[in-house]
Amino acid sequence: MARVVVDVMLKPEILDPQGRAVQGALGRLGLTGVADVRLGKQFIITIDGDVAGERLEQLHALAAELLSNPVIENYVLRVEADA
Amino acid sequence: MARVVVDVMLKPEILDPQGRAVQGALGRLGLTGVADVRLGKQFIITIDGDVAGERLEQLHALAAELLSNPVIENYVLRVEADA
């Protein structure tokens, strides 16, 4: 049983209006010095068996095409051994 | 300059229909053995100066009330030293 975490984030050059809204709200609620807020998605995939070799490649391909939009988003994939 | 990462995830006992949809899609696209998928949000907050003491407490309070819905979601907050 492996746990695969995929973080999907808008590319730095893409404007993030949701993050901007959160940044404004944090300021209004009294938190000072907030320079930037970016809002992304996190997928936690629990998968039977080992994740390596071909299966890991398959996961990377799916993360790049299904879980993220490669035009505007980057993804980071990490495998955590135990679920 | 500190980087604060807040991961917000539905509580385990709450049904996650988005995660379920992704699980189905991964299976249809040929990935076998996917036992579960949970979909959460990730906030990356870049903040001037140090984050400690009162400021960290303030961030925890905001993460618990503004960034997450404590009725259905859990959050994990971590501070990464350098932005």
Biggest CA-to-CA distance, chain A: 49
- Residue-wise pLDDT for B6-23, tens only, equals 999 999 999 999 999 999
Å from B9 to nearest chain A CA?
8
Nearest CA in chain B to A51: B33
State the residue range of the domain holding A40: 2-80
Write out chain A residues lying below 8 Å of B58, CB-based: 30-31
Question: Which pLDDT belongs to residue B18?
Answer: 95
What is the average pLDDT across B54-77?
95
Instruction: Copy the structure tokens of residue B56.
Output: 């960290």
Report the b/e string of B64-78 with b at 16+ CB within 10 A: bebbbeeeebebebe
Question: Which pLDDT belongs to residue B82?
Answer: 64
Q: What is the CATH number of the domain that holds A9?
A: 3.30.1280.10
Average of per-residue pLDDT values in chain A: 93
Question: Which pLDDT belongs to residue A82?
Answer: 64
Nearest CA in chain A to B40: A42
Name the residue facing A48 among B35, B46, B55 (closest C-beta).
Answer: B35
Q: What is the tally of structural domains in chain A? A: 1
